[in-house]
A and B are shown apart, each in its own frame.
Chain A
Amino acid sequence: GAVVSQHPSWVICKSGTSVKIECRSLDFQATTMFWYRQFPKQSLMLMATSNEGSKATYEQGVEKDKFLINHASLTLSTLTVTSAHPEDSSFYICSSRRLAGLYEQYFGPGTRLTVT
């Protein structure tokens, strides 16, 4: 199946700093990527839809100025958590959508963010 990678797999940062997470679609071009957040023992929550070459669409309640998304190429989307706080500690997962294929979305392995 298609492969989506994320980097880093885990990161620890201090409160007030910014952290960038990369999501790469390794074997197909993805015009659309999605970012999810998952708190412990909870389900995945869609944060935003990232479209190549245009502004991301954020879900209700997600601060676009805090979670900056850039989708500059067909294989790379980045999520930057700005001025991170302990409550931003979570598991961040991206997915890529291929227009033609068996099952539209392929998920990355996730990035564990811990803010101290």
Chain B
Amino acid sequence: DAKTTQPTSMDCAEGRAANLPCNHSTISGNEYVYWYRQIHSQGPQYIIHGLKNNETNEMASLIITEDRKSSTLILPHATLRDTAVYYCIVKPTGNQFYFGTGTSLTVIP
């Protein structure tokens, strides 16, 4: 699976958009970009995933660059409950999930 690089931590003001970047420069054509988050002492929660097109659901938007070497997860209006560790994982469908260190997002009142 392709390696991902994420910033260790980020802050975001409550009500503002949170933009979480992820670099995956070695991504292969059959690898999807998945985003999960983990709130303290809970299991990871699925957010969104995509292959090459931008995706949006009720939780977030996923923007994937045209060359697919990086992506950005956007939480449009961050709330205090969005404080969590966000994991970007790149893998072919069907493979196991291997988690990196993720980005610790703190939403500030």
Q: A46-B97, A95-B43, A95-B97 are in contact. List 13 more A-B contacts (CB 8 A).
A: A1-B46, A4-B43, A44-B44, A46-B99, A93-B43, A103-B34, A103-B46, A106-B46, A107-B36, A107-B44, A107-B45, A109-B42, A112-B41
Tally of A-B Cβ pairs under 8 angstroms: 46
Secondary structure of the A contact surface, majority rule: strand
Is the pair A43, B97 in contact by a Cβ cutoff of 8 Å? no
Interface size class of A (residues with CB under 8 A): 20 to 34
In the assembled complex, the Cα of A7 lies from the Cα of B74 at a distance in Å of 34
- Known contacts A43-B100, A43-B101, A49-B96; is-contact A93 B41 (Cβ 8 Å): no
Residue picked from B42, B49, B93, B97, most chain A C-beta under 10 Å: B97
Inter-chain contacts of A102 with B (CB < 8 A):
46
In the assembled complex, the Cα of A36 lies from the Cα of B99 at a distance in Å of 10
5 examples of A-B residue contacts, CB within 8 angstroms: A4-B43, A95-B97, A107-B36, A107-B43, A110-B42
